[in-house]
Chains A and B, each alone.
Chain A
């Protein structure tokens, strides 16, 4: 094989892998949008908050320690040495469930039947509040997140591919981050679990019912509020998974909340209401980005194309297929 072909394969593979990371974020958006018609702008902050909380629990940080120390002159910082990642993840899941319940109580409950734009504005407010609470609770310094997921280049793949290039060419093997491979495995597992859950359980059925028609769902005795807490908790859980992946890769910092913006083009490609759409949209964006960076960038001799290429793709899609690849068709009658 020629080095060019191998490089191309490597680019596509890397694109697919980083695309999965976008899909993980987009998945949380889709869940909430399907069940309540709300575009949850706070999804990125959800991921940040979950990652912060996870690190906090793991390292035994005292929540609100800065605030408490300031007010009462105490010197709290940590109340126990490091605990096992699984326990910390479990505690974080509990926190996200409580958070979903609080959001339903304080925000959603009061905005039932309001215009979508009002709910959207509410989630923007929620994003800022949650970011502030996260800061107060756990501090604003960049944290290292390590739950034991291996990361770094795969030596195995490098060794396996090094001999593939044709004789005499300089080729050092493919590079793929093991973390991304794990992200892929976890995403596949999550989506399968979601599919089984929504097809075969009564809660799944109730969830699909609510997504389809609120009034009809109420008339068969489904409690909208329970379903909403459930959905928000679930997307809180997915945000945590995304937060773990992104946090492991680049540290837990407040810019993590900006990954929500990366999910937008994914949603425009895949459609706001489709779970497979979120996955495939993410993959397409990931691959498109990487290919554009290497090939278009190389051709025009400009860099950092991958920073904006996703939005460009989304724009093209909006022009020709505004409902996305898998979204519900928009049919207008006159």
Chain B
């Protein structure tokens, strides 16, 4: 039901509107009065120096954090907070800054967890692995295989992900998010710690998901050349406050942004 709501929003219209979001933990003010909106189908980037509140912002969007004040308009409905389960059910998938994979499970099983919400057969049929349950399981396996092909994960299908190198783990995490067939994909530093080739691969995956699957992308990234290349619009945070927003070209020439990144120069 809630999923239909995102699909009712036409491309280019606001799918998430964050209005005056503030967030504090005890005495620490993580976000102060931040507002921006994400349009359906775009690649939207959140940038800013370390500790600017970027990850907190993603956590507010998928419901890990409850904002202290402010409203979230999600798919045309205003609410004061999100819930992780609701967010996942409504088609929001995400990855984490410090990879959060199921380390003891194989790549395949990790991706299959992305299909959990779409599996309808009940426990007993599944335990018997019989009839409709078998059919359903193989349907979801096929969907997961598509993701595996797309991300070139064939070689590590059966490998426990805990033993994979960092770059591949990031890719598996993206795979798990894509297996959910999300409408909106939240990526927290998907290219951190990668070399140039890995970054190019990752950018290609993100752009393909955006172009061909029409997935809305919200990403946090430190590599400015990547951000400027792939984003449609950007918001800049510093010390929990919004200091700029706009198209890549505008951000590049924004004085406040340059100051935040390079330090204020004496004139």
Which A residues have a C-beta under 8 Å from some C-beta of B? Answer: 196-197, 200-203, 205-206, 208-209, 211-213, 215-223
- On chain B, the residues within 8 Å of A221 by CB distance are 84-85, 88-89, 116-117, 180
Q: How far is the CB of B74 from chain A (nearest CB, A)?
A: 15
Q: Is B126 an interface residue (CB 8 A)?
A: yes
Q: How far is the CA of A200 from the CA of B114 in the complex (A)?
A: 15
Q: Is B226 an interface residue (CB 8 A)?
A: no
Contact A205 B85 (CB under 8 A): no
Given contacts A220-B114, A222-B113, contact A208 B104 (CB under 8 A): yes
Contact B176 A220 (CB under 8 A): yes
Q: Is B262 an interface residue (CB 8 A)?
A: no
Q: Is B101 an interface residue (CB 8 A)?
A: yes
- On chain A, the residues within 8 Å of B177 by CB distance are 219
Interface string of B101-116 (1 = CB under 8 A from A): 1111100010011111
Contact B84 A219 (CB under 8 A): yes
Q: How far is the CA of A221 from the CA of B63 in the complex (A)?
A: 11
Highest count of chain B CB atoms <10 Å: which of A216, A217, A223: A216
Contact B104 A212 (CB under 8 A): yes
Interface residues of B in 130-150 (CB under 8 A from A): none
Residue in contact with B85 in the complex, picked from A200, A201, A203, A218, CB distance below 8 Å: A218
Select the stretch in B15-23, B92-100, B192-200 that faces chain A. B92-100
Contact B104 A200 (CB under 8 A): no
Q: How far is the CA of A155 from the CA of B119 in the complex (A)?
A: 51
Given contacts A201-B126, A205-B109, contact A216 B101 (CB under 8 A): yes
- On chain A, the residues within 8 Å of B109 by CB distance are 205, 208
Q: How far is the CA of A206 from the CA of B114 in the complex (A)?
A: 10
6 pairs of residues in contact across A and B, judged by CB atoms under 8 Å: A202-B126, A205-B112, A213-B101, A213-B103, A215-B64, A219-B100
Highest count of chain B CB atoms <10 Å: which of A197, A200, A205: A205
Q: How far is the CA of A212 from the CA of B105 in the complex (A)?
A: 9
Contact A205 B123 (CB under 8 A): no
Q: How far is the CA of A41 from the CA of B113 in the complex (A)?
A: 31
Which chain B residue has the least Cβ–Cβ distance from A221? B88
Q: Is B62 an interface residue (CB 8 A)?
A: yes
Which B residues have a C-beta under 8 Å from some C-beta of A? Answer: 62, 64, 84-85, 88-89, 93-94, 96, 100-105, 109, 112-117, 119, 121, 123, 126-127, 129, 176-177, 180
Q: Is the interface of A mostly helix, strand, loop or mixed?
A: helix
- On chain B, the residues within 8 Å of A208 by CB distance are 102, 104-105, 109
Which chain A residue has the least Cβ–Cβ distance from B94? A219
Q: How far is the CA of A222 from the CA of B84 in the complex (A)?
A: 9
Contact B180 A220 (CB under 8 A): yes
Residue in contact with B100 in the complex, picked from A202, A211, A216, CB distance below 8 Å: A216
Q: How far is the CA of A35 from the CA of B147 in the complex (A)?
A: 28
Given contacts A213-B103, A219-B94, A221-B180, contact A205 B113 (CB under 8 A): yes
Highest count of chain A CB atoms <10 Å: which of B85, B105, B115, B177: B85
Q: How far is the CA of A205 from the CA of B88 in the complex (A)?
A: 17
Q: How far is the CB of A37 from chain B (nearest CB, A)?
A: 14
Contact A201 B123 (CB under 8 A): yes
Residue in contact with A200 in the complex, picked from B96, B115, B127, CB distance below 8 Å: B127
Given contacts A200-B126, A216-B102, 7 further A-B contacts (CB under 8 A): A201-B123, A201-B127, A215-B64, A219-B96, A220-B93, A221-B117, A222-B85
Which chain B residue has the least Cβ–Cβ distance from A216? B100
Q: How far is the CB of B173 from chain A (nearest CB, A)?
A: 8
- On chain B, the residues within 8 Å of A218 by CB distance are 64, 84-85, 88
Given contacts A219-B62, A219-B93, contact A206 B116 (CB under 8 A): yes
- On chain A, the residues within 8 Å of B101 by CB distance are 212-213, 216
- On chain A, the residues within 8 Å of B103 by CB distance are 212-213
Given contacts A221-B85, A221-B89, contact A209 B113 (CB under 8 A): yes
Closest 9 CB pairs of A and B: A221-B88, A216-B100, A212-B102, A201-B126, A218-B84, A221-B117, A202-B119, A209-B113, A209-B102
Q: How far is the CB of A47 from chain B (nearest CB, A)?
A: 24
Residue in contact with B113 in the complex, picked from A196, A201, A220, A223, CB distance below 8 Å: A220
Which chain B residue has the least Cβ–Cβ distance from A200? B129
Residue in contact with A209 in the complex, picked from B62, B105, B123, B129, CB distance below 8 Å: B105
Which chain A residue has the least Cβ–Cβ distance from B179? A220
Which chain A residue has the least Cβ–Cβ distance from B120? A202
Q: How far is the CA of A219 from the CA of B92 in the complex (A)?
A: 8
Contact B113 A206 (CB under 8 A): yes
Q: How far is the CA of A203 from the CA of B127 in the complex (A)?
A: 10
Given contacts A205-B116, A206-B113, A213-B102, contact A220 B126 (CB under 8 A): no
Q: How far is the CA of A211 from the CA of B119 in the complex (A)?
A: 20
Highest count of chain B CB atoms <10 Å: which of A202, A213, A218: A202
Q: How far is the CA of A137 from the CA of B101 in the complex (A)?
A: 45
Q: How far is the CA of A196 from the CA of B127 in the complex (A)?
A: 7
Q: How far is the CB of B57 from chain A (nearest CB, A)?
A: 15
